Structure formats: C-alpha cells, structure tokens
Amino acid sequence: MSPRDAFGIPQTVLLLGATSDIGLATVRRLVQRGARTVILGGRDPERASGLEGDVDYRHFDATDTAAHTKFFTDLFTDHPGIDVVLVAFGILHDQRGVEDEPRGAVEMAEVNYVGAASALLHASQHMELSGGGDLVLFSSVAGMRPRRSNYVYGSSKAGIDFMARGLAAALVDTDVHVMVVRPGFVHTAMTRGMKSRPFAVEPETVARAVVRGLARRDRVVYVPGVLRWVMAMIRLLPDRVVNRLEA
C-alpha cells in the first residue's frame, strides 16, 4: 500500500516542475493537509520559494532522458516512501512563432511529451516496487480538440494525456493510481500576457481539485468541472464551426 499515515494523508510529495505555479500550489495544499517531506525536481529547483519544512532540491531536466534512470533510482533510494508524484513541467511557445521556426515545436514535443512520458514510466516503476502511491499528470483541455491558435502545444498534451491514461489501465491491478488533470486556461507565469479564456481559473483552484481527486481516486479531473461537459460538446462540433469560434 501507499506509504501514507494512519489517516491516509500523503507524507512525501515529489514535484517535477519545481517552479510550476500549479504544481507549487498543489504541494502547498498537500503540506497544509499533513505532508511532511517535499522533493522539488527541476532545472533550477532552488528558485521555488514559499515552502517551509523538509524540502529536498534535486536537479531534473525533462529533456535529458538519458539521466532519468539514475535520477529516479537515486531519488527512490533516498526517499523510498514517495507516495505522491506530480508531473507538472511543460512549456508553451507562441503558435505563430513555432510555425515560423519549427525548433520551438520540437522543443515542446521534447518537454511536454517525451520528457513527461519518461518521467511517468520511471516513476510508476519505482512506485510499484516501493508499495504504490499516486501519480498525477497535469495535462490540458488543449489536447482534446485541435485549434488554430495552439495546435502544436495541444498535440503534445494530447499525446501525453493518451499515454498517461494507458499507463493507468496497465497499472489497474497494482497500488499505483494514475490521475490525469485537465485544466482550462490558468493564470500562471506561463500564460502571462496571453488573452484570458472563458472558465479561466487560478492555480489554487486547480490545487483544490487535485486534492479532491486524489481523495476520491479519480482517473480524470477537469478544472473547472464544467469543462468536462463543455469539451464533450466541442469535440462533437465540425471543424468549420470550431474554427469560426476562434475567428
């Protein structure tokens, strides 16, 4: 079973994406609920601020997949009781920009899909061996329907969303629970300067939804919840109608 305390409260949390606004908001909420040890993995994890208590900073580069085996082996050796892993890293480049310079599209694919897929698989293997836990992927509703304004970013999220749900099916008979979180527009450093969208939320709103989803053992969480039904309808619309909505 997952190494929680007698009341089922997670004790050790790993955040991959140490400076992610959504990831940090989720970690803070888990700490408020009783988590004692936080591990921050990122290219510059010490930049994360505002966390108190037992914090372990680890260098993690999503694109350096050759180093992931050692990273996770060392990590789970030092912290054999990690019971929540948050995969929260990602990048978002301007759509027009990546059409002019495709290298940006490749970078999004390398980070948002390849790096995240490597992290999910490595983490799930170690969690299964160490007794289970919760593995959370921060996806996006952008991956549910191609749109002119962000189809490259959306494709990277669609791929990793698909992969995480497949991993959840593969682990259904184990003590590793995989949860996919699909927010809409979130006001973060990554979206600063972008035009807000309907149903936009703050990182704290996503964090509350994640904690609720973990308690309920949800497989997929939409934030806000109404997006589950909005996206179900949008996916049924013809392309010409969706394109007109963006005009």
What is the percent of the chain with per-residue pLDDT over 90, rounded to a whole number? 79
Over residues 86-123, the pLDDT tens digits come to 999 999 999 999 999 999 999 999 999 999 999 999 99
3-state DSSP percent of the chain in helix, strand and coil, to 5: 45, 15, 35
* 6 has pLDDT over 70: no
Alpha-carbon distance of 60 to 41, in angstroms, equals 5
Domains and their CATH numbers in the chain:
12-246 (3.40.50.720)
Alpha-carbon distance of 32 to 93, in angstroms, equals 33
pLDDT at position 12, please? 95
* 79 has pLDDT over 60: yes
Over residues 21-57, the pLDDT tens digits come to 999 999 999 999 999 999 999 998 888 767 777 899 9
CA distances from 6 to 2, 3, 130 (A): 11, 9, 18
Query: Band of the pLDDT at 3, cuts 50, 70, 90?
Result: low
Average pLDDT over residues 227-235: 92
Hey, which residues are catalytic here? Answer: 153
For 198, counting Cβ atoms within 10 Å of its Cβ (0-12 exposed, 13-18 middle, 19+ buried), the class is exposed
pLDDT at position 247, please? 54
Query: Band of the pLDDT at 7, cuts 50, 70, 90?
Result: very low
